[in-house]
Amino acid sequence: MNGTQMTRIKQICTDFIPTTIGTAVISAICVLSLLTSTATAQERTVTVGLQVKPIFPVKFLKIGAQTVSQNGVNFTITPKIGYSGGMVIRWGFTNTVSLETGINYVKRNYDLEFKTDTFTGSSDFGIVNYQIPVSALVFIRLADKLYMNASAGLSLDMFVSDIHTFGTYFNNYSQRNGVFQSGVLANLGFEYRTIKSGYFYIGASFQRPFVQIYNDSLSYYKTSSTRENVIMKLNGSYLTFDVRYFFPPLPINKKVKNQKSEKVRKQEG
């Protein structure tokens, strides 16, 4: 990977990932790439895993509460703890370079708040989508069975439906910004590898969609005949704590060699 390519990748990531996260991941990938450039390739493998990823709202990553004030009414949408989980498929090209994909179920949760000088009301709603991520991973060996990784990639997300939330004093219609959307992914983590028991992984991931995922049309009923209406755009970015388990890998080359050996034996027979 030359200097021009790394400059372009860094520019793309910093456009969509907050500076702190983007710089950390890109720097880690650069360092790991240099450290692994002279690594000896091992037999290619494929493995399947399962993952659970709690979603956490973090203010300093610009994924905290969003507030709009209008004529004495404060409308606030606040991300809550959500969750994601699914299946992972990994192709290991060498001991230190891999490609991952899979399918995930993602549930984002939000609080709604309506506040005036004399009244405070609240509600909540959730957003469900299915995700297909594709990421390139670079690993560095820290110990005999312990590896550190950094990864970056893209995701394709399918959002299930629009959402309608209402009460006696408010109405909220959340309209998805398209059924299919996409975003960028970044990840840092550690992996403990065993031959017989599989791989055990913990880490953290950040996802940022390319555009706002939903447009929220909120109405607050001041009286039976008057209301305040605002539109808020949901950012949709989130941070996760990742826990994964991978089954023992299968060597791809070994299967090919075995198949060739069987063909040779049949021909000789």
What pLDDT is stored for residue 36 in this prediction?
41
Angle between helices 19-36 and 3-16 (to 10 degrees): 150
Cβ atoms within 10 Å of 251's Cβ, excluding its own: 15
What pLDDT is stored for residue 24 in this prediction?
44
In what helix (H) or strand (E) does residue 91 lie, and over which residues does it extend? strand 73-92
What pLDDT is stored for residue 94 in this prediction?
84
Domains within the chain, CATH numbers bracketed: 40-254 (2.40.160.20)
Unique residue bearing structure tokens 């490609």: 99
Instruction: Considering only residues 254 and 72, tell me which one the structure prediction assigns the higher pLDDT.
Output: 72
Rounded to the nearest angstrom, the gap between the alpha carbon of residue 251 and the centroid of all alpha carbons in its chain is: 28
The SS3 assignment for 256 reads: helix
pLDDT tens-place string over residues 125-154: 999 999 999 999 999 999 999 999 999 999
What pLDDT is stored for residue 1 in this prediction?
47
What pLDDT is stored for residue 223 in this prediction?
87
Q: Is the pLDDT of residue 61 over 60?
A: yes
Tokens of 127: 């957003």
pLDDT tens-place string over residues 178-229: 999 999 999 999 999 998 999 999 999 999 999 999 999 999 999 888 999 9
Q: How many Å apart are CA 206 and CA 29, to the nearest integer?
A: 15
